[in-house]
Amino acid sequence: MMLYLCSHSNVNLFDWLNESSLVAQPFMLKKISSTQLDLSAFAKKEAISINYYKYLAIDLSTVVNDRETFKLAIQSIHIMNPKIKFLYVDIGNKTNTLQEVLKTFGDVPIITENPEEDMSRFKTQVTAGVQYTQQFLDTEKESRDNTKIFPSTTKGINEAFQKSEIKKDYLFKNQKVMVAVINAYPRAGATTLSINMAAYLKSIGATVSWVELNGELGHLEHIVNSTHGFTAVTENRFEREDVVYLKGEIPEEVNFVINDMSRVIQDESSEGALEFTKNCNVAILCGTSKPYEL
């Protein structure tokens, strides 16, 4: 999952990743676009809350901070989110000053190829950046020493860093919480959303099953055949990274059952679908044409 802080003109640069075989799928992308990105303000307000993203992509063309403020903001975000991979976008090498700052952090990936001139080279550069093994230089001491930019947040940054090293233990008291994920219209993204929801719940310690209840669309079969890591248990039961995937079968003894209902409401392909949804603990209506932006 990637968070992309971008300019309005570059907002669609990474849309193709959602369907690309060059990166692991499903790939979800959330975009926050602006004409002026104050990375210092973002670090103060949002850095602690983005730790569930795998990637943070920053469009340098919209950054308004000076060298020192930009550097400290990057340091602060990294300290609070040491596992996030950073990618930077500078199409056409127009922000050399900020690139010089980034060089002090090591060999970080900077996307400079213009997709309008050579899409193949652009995609190759993006893919290399996504697969890049981050070796962020240790700048924690410097960020602690420099207090003139974030005078009120140094203590919070250090505390957040310590907390990020401690695995959170969640207590799930309820069994078999039923979640229905439904499309507002075909291909709105219920399957993508439901699978990523199941993976996230498992990552925080819950036991989860994902159930295909979407008529005869056959999404599970396509997913199993096109995605690595699935193990077949029975004809209609598969496992991947400790999440159980089922076809039309409600499991027992799990914390959450994520039901992918996709088009059953619109197509009326499942009798009693509305009644089933009504009886679920949580119902989610997916109504976006770009589900990877959720």
pLDDT at residue 263, rounded to an integer: 61
Would you kindly state where each structural domain of the chain is located, as residue ranges?
A: 2-164, 177-293
Q: Which residues of the chain have pLDDT under 50?
A: 138-155, 157, 160-167, 289-294
Whole-number Å distance between alpha carbons of 292 and 195: 12
CA dist 279 and 262 (Å) reads 17
Question: How much is the pLDDT for 65?
Answer: 92
Q: Residue 193 has what pLDDT? A: 84
180-217 pLDDT, tens digit per residue, is: 988 777 777 788 888 888 888 888 889 999 988 865 66
| Token output for 188 | 């709105």
The predicted-structure confidence for 56-83, as pLDDT tens digits, reads as follows 999 999 999 998 999 999 988 888 888 8
Of the candidates 212, 211, 203, the one whose C-alpha atom is nearest the C-alpha of residue 242 is 203
**What's the CA gap between 38 and 63, in Å, rounded?**
6
Q: Compute the distance between CA of residue 21 and CA of residue 267 in angstroms, rounded to an integer.
A: 30
- Contact, 74 vs 104, CB < 8 A? no
Overall fold of domain 2-164: Rossmann fold (3.40.50)
> Can you tell me the distance from the alpha carbon of 187 to that of 194, in angstroms, rounded to the nearest whole number?
13
Q: Say if pTM beats, i.e. exceeds, 0.75.
A: no
Complete DSSP assignment for 233-272: EETTEEEETTEEEEES---SS-SEEEEEEETHHHHT-STT
Strand order of the β-sheet with 256-262 is: 231-234, 237-240, 243-247, 208-212, 256-262, 177-183, 282-286
Residue 135, pLDDT score? 54
For residue 69, what pLDDT is reported?
A: 92
Instruction: Quote the pLDDT of residue 217.
Output: 63
Q: Which residues contact residue 278 at a Cβ distance below 8 angstroms, ignoring those fewer than 6 apart?
A: none
